Amino acid sequence: MDWHGKVALVTGGGTGVGRATALRLAARGAAVAVNYSRSEAEAEEVAALIRTQGGRALALRADVSDDAQVRLLVRWIQQAWGRLDLLVNNAACTRFLDHRDLEAHTDEVWDRILAVNLKGAFYCARAAAPLLREHGDGAIVNVASVAGLTGGGSSIAYAASKAALLTMTRSLARALAPEVRVNAVAPGFLVTRWTEGQDRRRDEAIARSALRRLAEPEDVADAILSLASARAVTGQTLVVDAGRSLD
């Protein structure tokens, strides 16, 4: 798909998968809103890099768990560029907790993880829907996790939030059709700031993956762009884990 003249919003766009996706989209001609909540310096760096390469980008702050901030975020994009063609729901949070330690999964843990990972994606989709529908070919790609398929991952709350996000992907695909396609990617273990220092888990993931490697943020970004461009695909989840889940 030719992204020239199109506009994308990438939540959590300053680091990891969000950064890689924002840069991929900009390289293909899209104007990119790089959303952040706390990673201001990183988001500004991504936006500045895009602009130095001749692209269009804005770093925009909003906590996706706050509906009012999300609606304002979308209005900023509309005022700046007049349209929105792609929403990438990448913003997420987690806590690394032993799954057997049920008491560690407090209300605070559950509330924050669900507020960002699930409700935040819904708030963004709801706020963006009118703009995405305008041109009849809008797209949403939700960044979930294989934890949502296996029940593993950093915590029970995180796995549950990503499983719910996969279900919501199908629900939104029905609700927003035919003007907007909604799909999801489910990355496996990635080397990001979340997993720095987890050498044992990294080595195990490599050893048990069919491709004997880890997926990189750029691999996930490629999958996101593929789904965003696939005009006959909606309500689907693409696993990006170098074949680890084949085990």
**69-106 burial code (b ≥16 CB/10 A, e <16):** bbbebbebbbeebebbbbbbbbbbbbbebeeeeeeebe
CB atoms within 10 A of CB 40: 12
Sign of the CA dihedral running 91, 157, 194, 152 = negative
Question: Is a pLDDT exceeding 90 seen at residue 239?
Answer: yes
Distance CA 91, CA 80 (A): 22
171-189 pLDDT, tens per residue? 999 999 999 999 999 999 8
Q: Which of 3, 122, 158, 189 is catalytic?
A: 158
Q: What is the pLDDT of residue 99?
A: 97
115-147 pLDDT, tens per residue? 999 999 999 999 999 999 999 999 999 999 999
The pTM (predicted TM-score) of the whole model is 0.95
Instruction: Please state the domain extents for the chain.
Output: 7-187+218-240
Domain 7-187+218-240 has CATH 3.90.550.10: no
Q: Is 5 left (phi over 0), alpha (psi -120 to 50) or beta?
A: left
Structure-token match 């057997």, residue found: 100
Nearest alpha carbon to residue 44 among 61, 27, 62: 61
14-62 pLDDT, tens per residue? 999 999 999 999 999 999 999 999 999 999 999 999 999 999 999 999 9
* 123 annotated active-site: no
